[in-house]
Copies of this chain bind each other. A is one copy, B any other.
Amino acid sequence: MHRTTNTNAMLLLRHCRCLTRVGLLKTQRVQLLQGVALPVAVCSSHRGHKSGQYQRSHGPNWRHALAGLLAGTGAVLAYGLHHSQTEQAATTIVQPIAPASSLPIYTQDEVTKHRSVEEGVWVTYKGSVYDITEFVSMHPGGDKILLAAGGALEPFWALYAVHSQDHVLEILSEYKVGELSAEDRRMQQSVKSTDPYSTDPERHPALRINSLKPFNAEPPAEILSDNYITPSAIFFKRNHLPVPQVDPKSYRLQVEGVPGGAPLSLSLEELKTCFPKHTVTATLQCAGNRRSEMNKVKQVKGLNWGIAAISNATWSGARLKDVLLAAGYMPEVVRQTSHVQFEGLDSDVTGTTYGASIPLNKAVSEEGDVLLAYQMNGEDLPADHGYPVRVVVPGTVGARNVKWLGKIIVSEEESSSHWQQNDYKGFSPATDWDTVDFKSAPAIQELPIQSAITQPAEGAVVERSAEEVTVKGYAWSGGGREVVRVDVSLDGGRTWQVAQLQSSEKGQVPAPSPPPGRAWAWKLWELTAPLPPAAQELEIVCKAVDNSYNMQPDSVAPIWNLRGVLSNAWHRVKVTVKEDEEEQKLL
């Protein structure tokens, strides 16, 4: 799916490019900027910023916008906007761009003076100088583009590999205004741009990669349900930034903000030895799991996950509750509406770390089972999963299970991070990027009931002679709500059969039923049913029910949302029934 979507988007871009061969001189662009009220970029994470506000926005707020760029499809959309705006201008002012050789030479000092919309926003790339003032409001990653203002693009593009595409260079070329002086070019080349992803770990070749930098990948669906406990190597990976290199010897976990308590700093050894080790089997799911099905309805912004951005593992570590008590947590002192914020050690070029928060009541509940985990499936956490320490918040969306944990802060406020405030929230299908108000929706915490079919795969062929078909899949619900039933249909949802549920590895004694509200792990399920006579095609559908009797919605369109999260409609797979040759002859 990912490839298909990108191909379509590329075709669209090529079409736009044909219409915009004719560019503008810089002065004309400035006139355009002043004379035309530019629409705010559709994909900016910070909507409502006027160009005049750019400088004032250089506070912590704009840093959170950094995450927006990671949404590859959104970027493509924004580049589309860039082109349509250029096209609009081109119809009124048609004048060929001056050839490169006739452009002036600038020194780095001159470039450095252009760091604001008022003064113009200039950048350099491979020895050329570009005035991107006009592009700033169209930049898919929002105004974080101003980080590069007055300097080189290379280190930023190294961080966000989405820029390594031909059409990005093509867009850039239209803004070229000069060449960098020979001396400054030599200086620049001596500062080698390093790839912050160069120290990322090796990954299992079976993984299906959605984005390489940062690394985002899921296992093939058909092997996902082979194990009740997903092997760590194929457990889905969802990184927002480069994997940080953490030295376990010098590692410290900071705990702050506990009312009436004192800041606490723990070594890895202290975390392991001063607190009881607690083990929980918990399923983690990305909010964007099954986003590709929403993309089929209407393009959304985000990684194009299939059905396998979900996995199940056994996690061991200290209870967050115990660590908070050690830091002086007293229930009677802390407001019930407080939050526990987490900061990762993964950061972008500006030093902004990944961050998220959960409600305090989940963090301190005896039955919340929130862990500061240092083991996954009985071994040290793998680098991709947060070595040496990550948060595991059972029943809660993956995004709050902060990896490479550096800091814990008890606060009356939620995390101010981009991912808590302006991402990972659900909206009505009526809400688009022009009308969305991220403040109007709660940050996703518990996830709704979910299930999907892992076998057979879409388009598979079932032999009529087999007489029956076996359907397999997974089912899980957030908030510790236990899956109590999975219904499977072979006829598109007209009639249903109840699948067998499996809550341990096949052949092993099933685990005892978890206490109420603490069913953190998925159930695998399986149904073997006779092939319906005469059917040439089966539309296999599954839907699960949890013990609060929440059901999955029937269809995707009514739950479609602009970020493509919470995609939990009935899962549908079409397979073909192949008649035996003998029978085919008779037909």
Q: Which A positions have Cβ atoms within 8 angstroms of B?
A: 336-337, 359, 361-362, 367, 426, 428-431, 441-442, 444-449, 478-479, 481-482, 484-485, 487, 493, 495-498, 513, 515-517, 543, 545, 547-555, 558-559, 566, 568
- Of the candidates B496, B547, B558, the one whose C-beta lies within 8 Å of that of A429 is B496
5 A-B residue pairs with Cβ-Cβ distance under 8 Å, sorted by A, are A336-B515, A337-B515, A448-B550, A551-B553, A551-B559
Asked if A361 contacts B442 (CB within 8 A), the reply is no
- Of the candidates B367, B487, B513, B553, the one whose C-beta lies within 8 Å of that of A428 is B487
Contact A430-B498, Cβ < 8 Å, known A336-B515, A517-B361, A547-B442? yes
Asked if B551 contacts A498 (CB within 8 A), the reply is no
State how many copies of this chain the complex holds: 2
- Of the candidates B515, B552, B566, the one whose C-beta lies within 8 Å of that of A553 is B552
Q: How many Å from the CB of A264 to the closest CB on chain B?
A: 25
Residues of B within 8 A of A485 (CB): 426, 428, 441
Q: How many Å from the CB of A304 to the closest CB on chain B?
A: 20
**Cα distance A541–B431 in the bound complex, in angstroms:** 18
**Cα distance A558–B486 in the bound complex, in angstroms:** 12
Residues of B within 8 A of A337 (CB): 513, 515-516
Interface centre among A426, A496, A516 (most CB of B within 10 A): A516
Asked if A442 contacts B517 (CB within 8 A), the reply is no
Q: Which 5 A-B pairs have the closest CB atoms?
A: A554-B554, A446-B548, A359-B516, A448-B550, A336-B515
Residues of B within 8 A of A478 (CB): 548
**Cα distance A554–B442 in the bound complex, in angstroms:** 23
Q: How many Å from the CB of A179 to the closest CB on chain B?
A: 52
**Cα distance A482–B361 in the bound complex, in angstroms:** 15
Asked if B441 contacts A362 (CB within 8 A), the reply is no
- Of the candidates B448, B479, B543, the one whose C-beta lies within 8 Å of that of A551 is B448
**Cα distance A543–B429 in the bound complex, in angstroms:** 12
Residues of B within 8 A of A429 (CB): 487, 496
Interface centre among A429, A478, A554 (most CB of B within 10 A): A554
Residues of B within 8 A of A516 (CB): 337, 359, 361-362, 445
Residues of B within 8 A of A555 (CB): 554
Residues of B within 8 A of A479 (CB): 479, 548
Nearest chain B residue, comparing its CB with the CB of A512: B337
- Of the candidates B545, B553, B558, the one whose C-beta lies within 8 Å of that of A496 is B558
Nearest chain B residue, comparing its CB with the CB of A287: B549
Residues of B within 8 A of A566 (CB): 549
Nearest chain B residue, comparing its CB with the CB of A486: B428
Beyond contacts A430-B497, A493-B558: 17 other A-B pairs, Cβ-Cβ < 8 A, are: A337-B513, A337-B515, A359-B516, A361-B516, A428-B485, A428-B487, A444-B549, A445-B548, A448-B549, A448-B550, A478-B548, A479-B479, A543-B558, A550-B550, A552-B553, A553-B554, A554-B558
**Cα distance A559–B547 in the bound complex, in angstroms:** 14
Asked if B361 contacts A430 (CB within 8 A), the reply is no
Asked if B559 contacts A495 (CB within 8 A), the reply is no
- Of the candidates B336, B447, B554, the one whose C-beta lies within 8 Å of that of A549 is B447
Asked if A448 contacts B554 (CB within 8 A), the reply is no
Nearest chain B residue, comparing its CB with the CB of A555: B554
Asked if A487 contacts B554 (CB within 8 A), the reply is no
Residues of B within 8 A of A551 (CB): 448, 553, 558-559, 568
Q: How many Å from the CB of A228 to the closest CB on chain B?
A: 21
Residues of B within 8 A of A513 (CB): 337
Interface centre among A445, A517, A549 (most CB of B within 10 A): A549
- Of the candidates B361, B430, B444, the one whose C-beta lies within 8 Å of that of A515 is B361
Asked if A441 contacts B487 (CB within 8 A), the reply is no
Residues of B within 8 A of A336 (CB): 367, 515
Nearest chain B residue, comparing its CB with the CB of A362: B516
Nearest chain B residue, comparing its CB with the CB of A545: B426
Q: How many Å from the CB of A563 to the closest CB on chain B?
A: 12
**Cα distance A214–B33 in the bound complex, in angstroms:** 75
**Cα distance A545–B560 in the bound complex, in angstroms:** 13
Nearest chain B residue, comparing its CB with the CB of A335: B515
Q: How many Å from the CB of A414 to the closest CB on chain B?
A: 11
Asked if A496 contacts B428 (CB within 8 A), the reply is yes
Q: How many Å from the CB of A396 to the closest CB on chain B?
A: 10
Asked if A426 contacts B496 (CB within 8 A), the reply is no
Asked if A428 contacts B498 (CB within 8 A), the reply is yes
Asked if A498 contacts B431 (CB within 8 A), the reply is yes
Q: How many Å from the CB of A376 to the closest CB on chain B?
A: 25
Residues of B within 8 A of A493 (CB): 558
Residues of B within 8 A of A554 (CB): 553-555, 558
Asked if A430 contacts B495 (CB within 8 A), the reply is yes
Q: How many Å from the CB of A276 to the closest CB on chain B?
A: 15
Residues of B within 8 A of A445 (CB): 516, 547-548
Q: How many Å from the CB of A291 to the closest CB on chain B?
A: 14
Nearest chain B residue, comparing its CB with the CB of A495: B430
**Cα distance A297–B420 in the bound complex, in angstroms:** 43
Asked if B515 contacts A426 (CB within 8 A), the reply is no
Nearest chain B residue, comparing its CB with the CB of A449: B550
Nearest chain B residue, comparing its CB with the CB of A426: B549
Residues of B within 8 A of A496 (CB): 428-430, 558
Interface centre among A359, A448, A449, A551 (most CB of B within 10 A): A551
**Cα distance A566–B361 in the bound complex, in angstroms:** 29
Residues of B within 8 A of A441 (CB): 484-485
Q: How many Å from the CB of A451 to the closest CB on chain B?
A: 13
Nearest chain B residue, comparing its CB with the CB of A561: B549
Asked if B448 contacts A548 (CB within 8 A), the reply is yes
